[in-house]
Structures are given as C-alpha cells and as structure tokens.
Amino acid sequence: MKPQHGSRLRNFHQAKWDEEVIFELSNPGERGIHYPQVERAISDAVGDGVSEIPASMRRESPPALPEVGQMRVLKHFLRLSQQNLGADLNIDVGQGTCTIKYSPKINEKIAGSAKARDIHPHQDESTVQGALRIMYELDLFFREISGMDRFSLQPSSGSHAILTMAAVIHKYHEVRGEADTRDELITTIFSHPSDAAAAAAKGYRITTLYPDEQGMPDLEALKAAVSERTAGLFITNPEDIGIFNPHIAEFTRVVHEVGGVCGYDQANANGIMGITRAREADFDLCFFNLHKTFSAPHGCGGPASGALGATKEMADYLPVPLVGFDGGKYYLDYDVPHTIGKARTFYGAFPVILKAYAWIMSMGAEGLKEAARIAVLNNNYLFKHITEIAGATSPYKGGKRRIEQVRYSWEELYNETGVDTHDVTLRLADFGFHLWQSHHPFVVPQPFTIEPTESYSKEELDEYLDGLRHVVHEARTEPDTVKRAPHNSVVHKIDESVYDDPDKWAITWRAYLKKHGREAAKIRG
C-alpha cells in the first residue's frame, strides 16, 4: 500500500473529525467534574463562604463557560489531538533551527511522578533535595559542555535567556558606572530575531550585521560598529544557515577591546557538543535551549527553558537564586553580589529541567558527542542530496560544510514554475511532512530550513528526500496540484481575510458571536 510513484511516500491523512468548538457542545446542566461539599463543621462555622464577598466585588453572573459531560470533553480534546502533527509521529526534520529531536518517553514518565509534580517552591530546602540536586548537577553538566563557570536555569526560553543576558550586561555596565553611555548592542541578521528584540526590550539600540557574500557576518562591519558605546554582542554560531564562523574569536576580541560583553546564543549547539565551546571562542555568557538541544518536548510552543551560563566574573550578575552544594546538602544560593534580581518567578521550568537532566544522564559524555557528530552527518547527507535537486539551492559559498542545519532556497524552482516555498510546504503536508521557511525578514529568497538532528534513521531521511523530490517533480509537471495543496488536510482552504480586519477578526468565541452573530455559529446544523 505504501509506496507510490515507486518512492517511499505515504498516503498520509490525519483523522478528520469536523469537531465543533467546545462552546457548541454545551448543554445546560451537563457536568464535567464535581467538587466535594465541605465538611459539616466548616459550613457550620463559616456559612456558605460567598455571602461575605463585598458587593462591589461579587461576580454578577456566572462565567458563560460551556457545560459538557466529562467523556465528551475528553473526546473533544482527543479528537483535536488527532488533528495535530507531533514530532513523535512525523519525520520532523523540516522544522529547522528548532532541533526537533526525540523526546524520550521515559523522561515524561519520570516527570509525571508525584515526586516531581507535587512539590512547592517554598518548601523547606531539606524536603526538596532531589529537585535541587538535579538543578545543581545540570549546572555542572552545562559548565562542561560550554566551559563557562556557572549556570542559572531560571530563563523560560531561549528568547528569555537573551533578555536575561541583556539585563546581566546592563547591570555589569551599571556597576561600572557606564550603563548610560553603553547603550548599543550588536547582533546579526541570521541570529534569532529575539537577539535583537529582547535586547531592544531592555532599552538597547540595536545594530544588526548582515552577511557578506560568504554568508559570514561582516567582520569589517563589526569593526565599524563598535565604539565606547558598545554594551555587547549577541551572536549565534553556527548561524541559522548552518555555516560555522571560523573568525568568531576575532569577533569577541573586537568587542572586548572596546569594553563590550559577548553573549553566545547557543540555539544551534546540537552539532558542536563536545567539539567546540563558548570558552574557546572567549564568550562571557552563553545559553542553551533545553527544549531543543537537550530533548525536552516542544509542547505546541512551551514550556521551554533557557539555561544561562556565565564566566566567573559575569556569574556575579546572574539572577537569584542559583543552586549550591556544600558537600552535604543542596541549597538555594542568594549570595550573588551584583544579581539582576529575578528573570522568572521561582527557579525555572522544573519539568523541562528534569527532562534535560535525564537526557544527559542517558547520553553521557560520549553520547553527547556522538549525538552531535551524527546530527552533523545527517545534515550533510541531506545537504548533499537536496542540493542535487534541480530547483533547490543553498545560498552562500562560505564554509565547505554545514554543521547541524542548512537554510536552502526554492528561488530557482519559483522562477521556473511559479511554485513558491509556501506551496511546497503545504504540498509536503499531504505526505505527513512539515517544512519551515525562515524567520522574517527573508534574507534568503524562498527559504526553507532543514535540521535533521541525530534522531532520524537514514531510511527516514531518504523518505523525506523523496517527499521533496516528488513535490519538485509535481511543480514542473502539474503545478496546480502543488498550488492548490494541501489536499489531504483535515481542514480546507481557510478564509484568511478576517484575520487582518478588526471588524471581523475574532480572538475569542464571545467576540465571534458578537461580530458574526449567533446564527453564523449555528450554521453547522
């Protein structure tokens, strides 16, 4: 049944349930869950509890939540889940820059235990030694992988780690009396857009460097950019196009010479674990994404975690508390002389931290390096075969190799057939594949970014390649098939015109009913 066109492609189709919006399932009186009545002694002592709510603060009518029986609620969300494409089900190499690797189930099972779930952040330290040990040891592991001296696990994501880096840098200059004069931060266009946006949120002026013809950020431009106003540099390496910048130590040197601080966005660390580190390139700060490189699942867009590392000097500015160990017990360490304060309430996204720890424990030093090496092997295998597909190119000639991902372009295909990268994406969806393009603005025309990680077998990579080849063939022979894709989606062509019209957009069901009328909602019959 499987192969069509003599290839490995699947006749994929998600379950289509035509599922209602939860509010449409409401029947007055149905109940999804009960809460217990309070003990008699309690009601005897305090009455109904609600009568004493001050009149000005009493809710006048109950919230118009749907009333749905328990099994129907379950069924509703299970059906929605079946209309979603998780990495566990597809060959998720097409979501470049996100390092979609296998998130081991055993780690989910462990994270689901009461010993992890059912602990409160303000418990006495003596009662959470297990949790603190995990955080402390993970800090030690990250020190090894980066060469930095201390990590905070508080930032909630990569972007949040960038904001926290900006806060650390701000504090560092503040302590030196230079916070007001050092107001410029430098980054590159191929770094994550949050490198610029999060730094700007902290009040910095942003200078963005563009790549030279080789695809490297322009070193001469950096030299022209730095001055006594430079607060620091935020940069990824390899950048999102997958080329390793061999001059990176030159970049940090130029910035250090003017008194700036260098922060390494290690979102693309998966190909270089154990190969090269922030320390060797002389960075002062760096961060890892635990939901990327260290296997925690992406959860439809979080929870996530960004572990922020610092050299000995910069560790004095990290958010509190850090986690310490006195040889006998683990403790929350608030003794950070110039701390920025807090990046997040409490100590970090513990379930994510726990899963990253378990993953590293499973890999060990050798396994981490092997994961990096195979991720790079897989990527260069795809690189070789994708650039052989007529219509696909990889811009920039710098670097013979690519590290863990490549940003490709469908520009030639588009010019030849009118089929663009968006069309290709939607057609690939018909075969159960996802393909992501690029951040905005598109520096590479008609971009697509592929990062295979170490998780997928050669057969799976070959299947994905067949998908790409097939769609490219269709673009030439039956472009309409590609243009009108997807054909197998559970949802048909969506009317996107409402999303930009304030009179029509509806961000909640109640807004929909107001703008489009109750009748419009009942059209389903």
Partner 1 sequence: MKKLGLIVNPVAGMGGAVGLKGTDGADTLERARELGAVPHAQERTTTALTNLTGIADDIELLTYGSTMGEAVAAACGLRATLVGSPSHPDTTAQDTVAAARAMHAAGVELLLFAGGDGTARDICGAVGTDVVALGIPAGVKIHSAVFAANPTAAGQVAAAVIAGNINRAVEAEVMDIDEEDYRREVLSARLYGYLRIPDARRLLQGLKAGSPRSDAAMQMAIASELVERMADDRYYIVGPGTTCRPFMERLGLDHTLLGVDVIRAGRQIGKDVSEQEILSIVDDSPCTLVVTPVGGQGFLLGRGNQQISPDVIRQVSKENISVVATAEKLCSLRGKPLLVDTGDEDTDTYLSGYYRVITGYHENTIYRVSPPT
Partner 2 sequence: MAAGDRVHPYIPNSVPDVKAKMLAEIGIDDIDTLYEDIPESLRFRGELNIPEGITSELELERHMTDVLSVNRTCSENISFLGGGCYRHYVPAICDEITGRAEFLTAYAGEPYEDHGRFQALFEYQSLMGELLETDVVNVPTYDWGQAASTSIRMSGRITDRDVILIGDTISPDRLQVIRTYCEPVMKIELVQHAPETAALDLEDLDKRLTSSVAALYCENPTYFGTVEEHGQVIADTVHSNGSLFVVGVDPVSLGVIKPPSQYGADITCGDIQSLGNHQYFGGALGGFIATRDEKKYVMEYPSRLFGISKTEREGEWGFGDVAYERTSFAVREQGKEFIGTAAALYGISSAVYLSLLGPQGIRELDQNILQKSQYAMKRLAGVDGVAIKFDAFHFKEFVVDFTGTGKAVQEINDALLEQGIFGGKDLSRLSAELEGCALYAVTEVTTQEDIDRLVEALEVLS
Query: Using CB under 8 A, which residues numbered 261 to 300 contact partner 2?
Result: 272, 274-277, 279-281, 291, 297-300
Work out whether 419 is an interface residue with partner 2 (CB under 8 A): no
Per-residue HEC secondary structure of 318-344 comes to CCCCEEEECCCCEEEECCCCCCCCCCC
296-325 positions binding partner 2, by CB under 8 A: 297-304, 319
Please tell me the count of residues contacting partner 2 according to CB under 8 A. Answer: 212
Antiparallel, parallel or unpaired: β 406-409 and 261-265: unpaired
Which residues sit opposite 151 in a β-bridge? 309
379-398 positions binding partner 2, by CB under 8 A: 380-381, 384-385
For CA atoms 110, 112, 117, 118, the dihedral sign is negative
54-83 positions binding partner 2, by CB under 8 A: 54, 56-60, 62-68, 70, 73-74, 76-83
In the complex, least distance from residue 441 CB atom to partner 1, rounded to whole angstroms: 5
Report the residue number, 22 or 476, with the smaller CB distance to partner 2.
Answer: 22
Which of partner 1, partner 2, none binds 212 (CB below 5-8 Å, type-dependent)?
partner 1
- Residue 325 neighbours by CB under 8 Å, 6+ apart: 133, 136, 331
Report the residue number, 1 or 57, with the smaller CB distance to partner 2.
Answer: 57
Report the residue number, 137 or 412, with the smaller CB distance to partner 1.
Answer: 412
Question: Residues 189, 221, 258, 490: which binds partner 2 (CB under 8 A)?
Answer: 490
In the chain, the N- to C-terminal Cα span, in Å, equals: 37
Report which of 288, 167, 184 is spatially closest to residue 232, judged by C-alpha positions.
Answer: 184
3-state DSSP assignment of residue 263: strand
210-229 positions binding partner 2, by CB under 8 A: none
Which of partner 2, partner 1, none binds 414 (CB below 5-8 Å, type-dependent)?
partner 1
In the complex, least distance from residue 119 CB atom to partner 1, rounded to whole angstroms: 31
Find out whether 13 and 489 touch, Cβ atoms under 8 Å: no
Find out whether 118 and 306 touch, Cβ atoms under 8 Å: no
CA–CA distances in Å: residue 134 to residues 299, 367, 384: 22, 19, 40
Work out whether 326 is an interface residue with partner 2 (CB under 8 A): no
How far is CA 416 from its chain centroid?
34
164-203 positions binding partner 2, by CB under 8 A: 164, 167, 170, 179, 193-194, 197-198, 200-203
Find out whether 419 and 65 touch, Cβ atoms under 8 Å: no
Residues in contact with partner 1 by CB under 8 A are: 97-98, 159, 189, 192-194, 196-197, 200, 204-213, 218, 220-222, 224-225, 301, 414-415, 417-418, 420, 422, 425, 434, 436-437, 439-443, 445, 479, 483, 495-497, 500-501
Which residue is it, tokens 């006749």?
11
DSSP label at residue 224:
H
- From 1-9, 96-104, 253-261, 472-480, span contacting partner 2 (CB under 8 A): 96-104
In the complex, least distance from residue 231 CB atom to partner 1, rounded to whole angstroms: 13
